[in-house]
Amino acid sequence: MVAFAGWSLPVQYRDSHVNSHLHTRQHCSLFDVSHMLQTKIFGCDRVKLMESLVVGDIAELKPNQGTLSLFTNEAGGILDDLIVTSASEGHLYVVSNAGCREKDLTLMQDKVRELQNKGSDVALEVMDNALLALQAQVLQAGVADDLRKLPFMTSAVMEVFGVSGCRVTRCGYTGEDGVEISVPAAEAVHLAAALLKNPEVKLAGLAARDSLRLEAGLCLYGNDIDEHTTPVEGSLSWTLGKRRRAAMDFPGASVIVPQLKSKAQRRRVGLMCDGAPVRAQSPILSPEGTVIGAVTSGCPSPCLKKNVAMGYVPYEYSRPGTPLLVEVRRKQQPAVVSKMPFVSTNYYILK
């Protein structure tokens, strides 16, 4: 167990990190992610509130559709990444990172007060639900709804293994076809026990979660993106809503939007590396041996049996296939810029 954002969280359970990782890819793992911040935003002006803080087009979301978005500051830096769902019950359901809990809450609560003082109809509620994440395939046995009608980044409220009032969102941080179940806290242990009765399902901890998300090319806030990284630098330009780009009406738009056409800044890239495993802070060098950037996340990929990493390099070095060097324990070893995800994702998308 390790301390994390005020919580005590499991790094791993009985199985080794690698076995747990591979079990997730081949079968199914249950992650307790109840440390994540869950909030609801109510009122006629809830979209106005959210769009004053994030880069995404929240107004265009259909009922029960969600999107990954980013809180940004006026300098264009990323304050946090979050998922915003337009719940058909008449509120926005927001899930953001535990490590940014106080910052995110202050940001949203201050904006709620500001808009209320101007006569806007908006309110915020912090949820005390637990949050369980696992692959979708094991859930069908415990719900009456047909999960084939619930594609990636949509959600619905349903009864799950006898627990009513659960919001099931089809999303995932492993790259697999996953769901997150927001469950009343008092029922969380009951639901977890019901899910674990399936022999396919095993508990997994933070170590597997980190290597799985890295294989899927997904960012960890505070490592791969932070307040000194813009969405364009972080290779997250796709989160910028088309209407929002044109209107330039989100925090930091005057910095972020011009970067879309500029090739001057650094970019987050994937790296495949030979030799010893590469870790965060390892220097990235040009083929000539000049330091040009740094690794932000890295580990041996249990699926590929190769070392994978993410890091930042100048734009001219960001093309997949570009040969580079990384420095590990003062030794230089070859690396190549690689497309991400490193391991193909299995998201359930309706054709």
Looking up residue 142, the CATH number of its domain turns out to be 3.30.1360.120
Q: Do 78 and 210 share a domain, yes or no? A: no
Q: Do 18 and 150 share a domain, yes or no? A: yes
Q: Region of 327 please: left (phi>0), alpha (psi -120 to 50) or beta.
A: beta
Q: 206: which residues sit within 8 A by CB, 6+ positions away?
A: 2, 4, 9, 10, 11, 12
Q: Do 331 and 186 share a domain, yes or no? A: no
Q: Do 254 and 291 share a domain, yes or no? A: no
**Do the beta carbons of residue 150 and residue 170 sit within 8 Å?**
yes
For residue range 231-288, list pLDDT tens digits in order: 999 999 999 999 999 999 999 999 999 999 998 789 999 999 989 999 999 999 999 9
57 occurs within a structural domain: yes
Helix axes 17-26, 206-215, angle to 10 degrees: 60
70 occurs within a structural domain: yes
Q: Do 71 and 152 share a domain, yes or no? A: no
82 occurs within a structural domain: yes
Q: Do 154 and 198 share a domain, yes or no? A: yes
For residue range 273-309, list pLDDT tens digits in order: 989 999 999 999 999 999 999 999 999 999 999 999 9
**Do the beta carbons of residue 196 and residue 136 sit within 8 Å?**
no
* Dihedral, CA of residue 96, residue 102, residue 105 and residue 106, to nearest 10: -140
Q: Give me the domain span that covers residue 85.
A: 36-120+230-262
Q: Do 307 and 288 share a domain, yes or no? A: yes
16 occurs within a structural domain: yes
Q: Which residues sit opposite 293 in a β-bridge?
A: 284
Q: Into how many domains does the chain fold?
A: 3
Q: Do 135 and 108 share a domain, yes or no? A: no
* Dihedral, CA of residue 21, residue 22, residue 28 and residue 33, to nearest 10: 10
Q: Do 28 and 134 share a domain, yes or no? A: yes
**Burial of 157: CB neighbours in 10 Å, binned 0-12, 13-18, 19+:** middle
Distance of CA 245 to the CA centre of its chain: 22
Structure tokens at 220: 């960890």
| Gyration radius from the chain CA atoms | 21
Angle at 255 between CA 253 and CA 257, to 5 degrees: 60
Burial 139-150 (b: 16+ CB within 10 A, else e): beebbeeebeeb
Q: Do 93 and 234 share a domain, yes or no? A: yes
Per-residue pLDDT of the chain (351 residues; tens, 9 = 90+): 999 889 999 999 999 999 999 999 999 999 999 999 999 999 999 999 999 999 999 999 999 999 999 999 999 999 999 999 999 999 999 999 999 999 999 999 999 999 999 999 999 999 999 999 999 999 999 999 999 999 999 999 999 999 999 999 999 899 999 999 999 999 999 999 999 999 999 999 999 999 999 999 999 999 999 999 999 999 999 999 999 999 999 999 999 999 999 987 899 999 999 899 999 999 999 999 999 999 999 999 999 999 999 999 999 999 999 999 999 999 999 999 999 999 999 999 987
Q: Do 141 and 26 share a domain, yes or no? A: yes
Q: Which residues sit opposite 31 in a β-bridge?
A: 133
345 occurs within a structural domain: no
116 occurs within a structural domain: yes
CA-wise closest residue to 86 among 94, 98, 78? 94
Give the span between the Cα atoms of 46 and 118, in whole angstroms: 14
In this structure, what CATH number is given to the domain that contains residue 111? Answer: 3.30.70.1400
350 occurs within a structural domain: no
210 occurs within a structural domain: yes
**The pTM of the whole model exceeds 0.95:** yes
Cβ neighbour number for residue 271 with a 10 Å cutoff: 26
Mode of pairing for the β-strands spanning 7-9 and 2-4: antiparallel
Q: Which of 156, 187, 219 is the last residue of a domain?
A: 219
Q: Do 30 and 134 share a domain, yes or no? A: yes
**Do the beta carbons of residue 31 and residue 210 sit within 8 Å?**
no
In this structure, what CATH number is given to the domain that contains residue 288? Answer: 2.40.30.110
Residue 125 assigned to a binding site: no
**Burial of 52: CB neighbours in 10 Å, binned 0-12, 13-18, 19+:** middle
CA-wise closest residue to 161 among 144, 137, 184, 185? 144
Cβ neighbour number for residue 9 with a 10 Å cutoff: 17
Mode of pairing for the β-strands spanning 91-96 and 78-87: antiparallel
